[in-house]
Amino acid sequence: MTAEQIGPAHETKEPKGTYRVVAACDFSPLGNRAVSEALRLCSAHPAAALHVITVGAESPTGMILPGADVSVVANQQAQQLARKHVAEIIDEFPAHGPELPLDKVAVYVTVGIPSERIVSLATALDADLIVLGTHGRRGVERMLLGSVAEEVVRRAPCGVFVIRPRDFLQGEKLPEIQPALKPGEHPLLPFRTAPTYHYVHRMNRESGRIMPSI
């Protein structure tokens, strides 16, 4: 799928029963993972639609797209850059995942508060799921920028799939909830007792009667 094959944002009419996924892309590796994960989820549904949104900052001469390369671009150029970026992610997907049932992907580029724009799009589309990443900002950076993922989870009209980087805690060691295991100890040791089981009643196909649990 090339950039030209990604449908314009206004083409949002979809059949009834379509599984709609909104993915937030901020041009970061984590944002790319969010789009890839959204593609994987869509591939599991015969009638799915993917809507990718990028939220930039407004500038008097255009728009500042998110990402490492901070520069002001015209609105039309921002649309082209976003479509090209999403197309590259889609082109790489078949090498790592199943074949996509999608004919097109809608790409939106807008400005404003990211959490508000993401939630607004999901609400307008009556989306089934939002997929986005969280960078795990801390301290002053967190106070200034806030957490887009937290705000989306709090306000979303649908389920939210949040993807965290492997070094989400920035390399800090998690506090131990129990002493380290000694050689030969089992990780379920804190539970002390063996589990109990509930056996589901089985239907006797010949008589049609429910057989008691064994």
> Can you tell me whether residue 107 is helix, strand or coil?
strand
3-class SS of residue 106: strand
Q: Buried b vs exposed e over 74-110: b needs ≥16 C-beta within 10 Å?
A: eeeebbebbbebbbebbeebeeeeeebebeebbbbbb
How many Å apart are CA 155 and CA 46, to the nearest integer? 28
Mean pLDDT of 151-161: 95
Q: How many CB atoms lie within 10 A of CB 117?
A: 19
Q: What percent of the chain has pLDDT over 90?
A: 42
The DSSP line for 154-204 is HH-SSEEEEE--TTTTTTPPPPPSSPPPPTT--TTGGG-S-----PPPEE-
149's enclosing H/E stretch is: helix 148-155
Confidence label for 10 from pLDDT (cuts 50, 70 and 90): very low
Considering only the C-alpha atoms of the chain, give the largest distance between any 2 of them, rounded to a whole number of Å. 77
What pLDDT, in 10s, does the model give residues 192-203? 566 677 777 666
Whether residue 139 is predicted with pLDDT greater than 90 in this model: the reply is no
Which DSSP string do the residues of 41-105 spell out, in sequence order? Answer: HHHT-SSEEEEEEEEEEEETTEEE-SSSS--EE-HHHHHHHHHHHHHHHHHHGGGTSPPP--S--
Calpha distance 3→83 (Å, rounded): 6
Instruction: Using pLDDT thresholds of 50, 70 and 90, give the confidence band for residue 147.
Output: confident
- What is the DSSP secondary structure assignment for residue 212, as one 8-state letter? P
The residue extents of the domains of the chain are: 3-163
Those residues with Cβ within 8 angstroms of residue 81's Cβ, 6 or more apart along the chain or in another chain: 65, 73
Tell the residue number behind the tokens 């728009």, with chain if given: 63
Task: Indicate the pTM of the whole model.
Answer: 0.71
Beta partners for 163?
Answer: 133
Sequence length of the chain is 214
Q: What is the pLDDT of residue 201?
A: 65
- What is 3-163's CATH number? 3.40.50.620
- Residue 86's pLDDT is 94
Predicted confidence (pLDDT) per residue in 160-211, tens digit: 999 887 655 454 444 555 566 667 666 655 555 666 777 776 666 555 565 5
Query: Average pLDDT over the chain, rounded to whole?
Result: 78
55 burial via Cβ count (<10 Å: 0-12, 13-18, 19+): buried
* Ramachandran area for residue 184 (φ above 0: left; ψ -120 to 50: alpha; else beta): left
pLDDT for position 49: 94
pLDDT tens figures, 50-77: 999 999 999 888 899 987 777 789 999 9
